[in-house]
Amino acid sequence: MDHASLGWWGVPLAVLAGAIRVSTPFLFVSLGECLTEKSGRINLGLEGTLVMGAMSGYATAYLTGNPWAGVLVAGLAGSLLGTLHAMICALERVNDIAVGIALMLLGTGLAFFLGKPFIQPQAPQLPSIPFGWWSGSAQVRSALDINPLFLVGLALAPLLLWGLRTTRWGMVLRIVGESAEAARAMGYHINRVRLLATAAGGFFAGVGGSFLSLSYPGSWNERLSSGQGITAVALVIFARWDPVLCVWASLLFGGAGALGPALQSVGVTQGYHLFNAAPYVLTLAIMIATSSSRHRLAGAPAELSVTR
Amino acid sequence: MRPFLHGAVTRLSATRLSAVLAAPLSALAPPVAAVAVSLALFGAFVALVGVDPVEMYQLMYRGAFGTWFSWQNTLTRAAPLILTALCTALPAQLGLVIIGGEGALVLGALAAAATGMALNGAPAALVLPAMALAGMAGGALLIGGAGALRQWRGVNETISSLLLTYIAIAVLNHMVEGPLKDPSSLNKPSTPPLADAYMIGTLPGSSVHWGLVAGIVCAVAAWVLMRRTTFGFAARMVGGNPRAARMAGLPVGRLLVVTTALAGAAAGLAGMVEVAAVHGRASASLVAGYGSTGILVAFLARQNPLAVIPVAVLFGGIGASGGLLQRRLDLPDASVLVLQGIIFVVLLASEAMRGRLRLFTFARPTAAPKEA
């Protein structure tokens, strides 16, 4: 790709294009985590789920030749890990944060173990939709090559918001997240609701992982994810547990993540690693700015342990 | 997020002598059972990929504890693990879950290496303590920062300590590829090698460096601090009930920041030891997973600083045997990670079994509220 023709204008364009590409895994993980946290439990293991999704999606796409089968299997692998998380958390005296850390380790370990044979071969990639067909500029065209998964994520966000607000299922989920006591008194099975919410959240995170290996960066290796999962968990707090706000937050983080590669493409290599750390710095800055030691965060599910 | 960290701590308050004796036993049973169950599960897992589990465990034992050579390898790996485990175990006394040991190690290593470079030429008796102090300061800054953010801004310390780890790794990569780069390190960017005079020596008659002694001393000191001083008593009171501690007039904020800074200093010292005893320079290969393994060591030791020592030796052994498994059985290097993950998951599940199965009820179970 030649960025010279656009010069420094290539940077904002690349950041914009990157924001769309890089934000997709953030979007899926944060939507999944949003759903899980709404039920009053946090799953910190989504970092492991993301890597597991990336590996299983890539392996399935390679073995079947169909990248969409990879996306599905990645989602299923994610929901399996989510189910495991929920089942252990349902036991007495078990802390959901600790289980998340354990699954971060297990998910990453399993993905590296099982994914060893798939580092070399090239799996078929997800197709993208060329929204930039009208433009003569190669950069603009490549920037507007948008992956359908991003659009799915965009559609999913308002759907989730609607589901949480207006459907019976959404209401039950919110009751369980706001007051386990009340939900129990009303006869709902708290652990069952949380299991479904965590499994569904794991599915989304797994799909987000498959995007990493099947679209952008588009290969499987052990350095594929470094912290996108945990950043997405923090992002949900920033988005105040609102799925639609998760979209904007994901785009912001995607843009921050794209800054390093964009600057590198115009020849700024100094501080490359520091620019790559931009999403983490941004996350931390936002958490510092929006948290408070005195009162609970607005919109936080009352049963959630992280915001206490 | 309080109760699960405790258990064994409050248990000692029982007055009957038998209960006092039984307490360590009942604290020991779940972790030991968890490791046993995990080994069986991991055996079944490798059997699925066509490896004979019996042969694997024989090899593992040989690679970890079978010979004097493997013992030395194990103990060399145990040294940083003790220190990174303390990075999780110390804040756990206050009910905090810190998972930034890797970041504190990395930052400590970078600070130590930079100090070694800056003071190049000065006598070793001056440079080594300066490197150790710089390493501890680097780690203390990172984890103490997470503690301070928790106290004054209410930022969740688990997430912030992990984010700080990623930032610390980025800073390390930036420094060793940029300002601190040794021009002659082409393939693997790193800082210039430390002069031989500034390297920590080995224990007489072995290849195990003095970092192991430093780790053990720190673990014992941490235990004394937490169990035998008013500071530790106050810290554990905060862990038991922060509101009651505040009502009693304890300086909760100061306890929290000092404890997290000490925890970070321990992991930072691990970084200094890795630089001055193993690598001889700072490079990306310092990110070797000692931080994440340290978290598991702390949990398996039930956050007890003394118990951290034997558990760190166990995991040092598992790590040491990884190479042998790779060469002889063609198992991927991630096998160790899978085993660690299984142990962690089973351990947490076993926590729920404590007090349920007859086997574990040596001491009267204390009332432990649920619902995190």
Whether residue B149 lies inside any domain: the answer is yes
Whether residue B368 lies inside any domain: the answer is no
CA distance A40 to A247: 21
Q: Identify the pLDDT of residue A2.
A: 45
Q: Is the dihedral of CA A140, A142, A143, A144 positive or negative?
A: positive
DSSP code for A145:
E
CATH code where residue A177 lies: 1.10.3470
CATH code where residue B172 lies: 1.10.3470
- Which amino acid is present at A137? S
Whether residue A24 lies inside any domain: the answer is yes
Q: Identify the pLDDT of residue A268.
A: 78
Q: Is the pLDDT of residue B359 over 70?
A: no
Residue owning tokens 């010069």: A7
Q: What is the pLDDT of residues B27-54, one digit of tens each?
A: 777 889 999 999 999 999 999 999 999 9
Q: Which residue of A has its CA nearest to B155?
A: A291
Give, in degrees to the nearest 5, the angle at Cα A260 between A254 and A262: 85
Instruction: Evaluate whether B231 touches B255 at the Cβ level (below 8 Å).
Output: yes
Listing DSSP states for B130-196 in one string gives HHHHHHHHHHHHHHHHHHHHHHHH---HHHHHHHHHHHHHHHHHHHHHTTT--TT--SS-BPPPPPG
Whether residue B365 lies inside any domain: the answer is no
Domain that holds residue A64: 7-290
Please give the span between the terminal C-alpha atoms of chain A, in angstroms, as a whole number.
Answer: 48
Q: What is the pLDDT of residues A74-133, one digit of tens each?
A: 999 999 999 999 999 999 888 899 999 999 999 999 999 999 999 988 999 999 888 888
Whether residue A88 lies inside any domain: the answer is yes
Q: What are B209's strand-pairing partners? A: B202
| Orientation of helix A243-265 relative to helix A278-290, angle to 10° | 140
Whether residue B367 lies inside any domain: the answer is no
Contact A109 B149 (CB under 8 A): no
Whether residue A250 lies inside any domain: the answer is yes
Residue owning tokens 């082409």: B186
Contacts of B3 in chain A (CB under 8 A): 93
- Among the partner residues B177, B341, B370, nearest to A273 by beta-carbon distance: B177
| Distance between A104 CA and the closest CA of chain B, angstroms | 8
Instruction: Evaluate whether A21 touches A178 at the Cβ level (below 8 Å).
Output: no
Q: What is the pLDDT of residues B146-169, one digit of tens each?
A: 999 999 999 999 999 999 999 999
Instruction: Evaluate whether A279 touches A19 at the Cβ level (below 8 Å).
Output: no
Q: What is the pLDDT of residues A171-227, one digit of tens each?
A: 999 999 999 999 999 999 999 999 999 999 999 999 999 999 999 889 999 888 878
Q: How many residues does chain A have?
A: 308
- Among the partner residues A88, A113, A276, nearest to B338 by beta-carbon distance: A113
Find the mean pLDDT for residues B45-72. 95
CA distance B182 to B191: 5
Confidence of residue B371 (pLDDT cuts 50, 70, 90): very low
Whether residue A235 lies inside any domain: the answer is yes
Residue A75, CA atoms < 13 Å, CB-side half-sphere: 14
Q: Which helix (H) or strand (E) holds A129?
A: strand A129-130
DSSP code for B307:
T
Q: Is the pLDDT of residue B3 over 60?
A: no
Whether residue A86 lies inside any domain: the answer is yes
Residue A93, phi-psi category: left (phi > 0), alpha (psi -120 to 50), beta (remainder): left
Dihedral (C-alpha) A98, A99, A102, A106: value to the nearest 10 degrees?
Answer: -170
> How far apart, in Å, are the Cα atoms of B149 and each of A90, A230, A231, A241, B238?
30, 18, 17, 22, 17
Q: Identify the pLDDT of residue A78.
A: 97
Whether residue B266 lies inside any domain: the answer is yes
Q: Which helix (H) or strand (E) holds A130?
A: strand A129-130
Q: Identify the pLDDT of residue B372.
A: 39
Summary mean pLDDT of chain A: 90
Confidence of residue A261 (pLDDT cuts 50, 70, 90): confident
Q: What are A130's strand-pairing partners? A: A145
Residue B175, CA atoms < 13 Å, CB-side half-sphere: 22
What's the token pair of residue B338?
Answer: 């899978």
Q: Which residue of B has its CA nearest to A233?
A: B159
- Taking alpha carbons only, the member of B296, B334, B289, B330 closest to residue B312 is B296
Whether residue A299 lies inside any domain: the answer is no
Contact A306 B156 (CB under 8 A): yes
Number of domains, chain A? 1
Q: What is the pLDDT of residues B251-260, one digit of tens each?
A: 999 999 999 9
Q: Is the pLDDT of residue B186 over 70?
A: yes
Whether residue A140 lies inside any domain: the answer is yes
Whether residue B371 lies inside any domain: the answer is no
Domain that holds residue B60: 3-359
Number of domains, chain B? 1
Contact B332 A113 (CB under 8 A): yes
Alpha carbon of residue B57 to chain centroid = 24
pTM of the model: 0.90
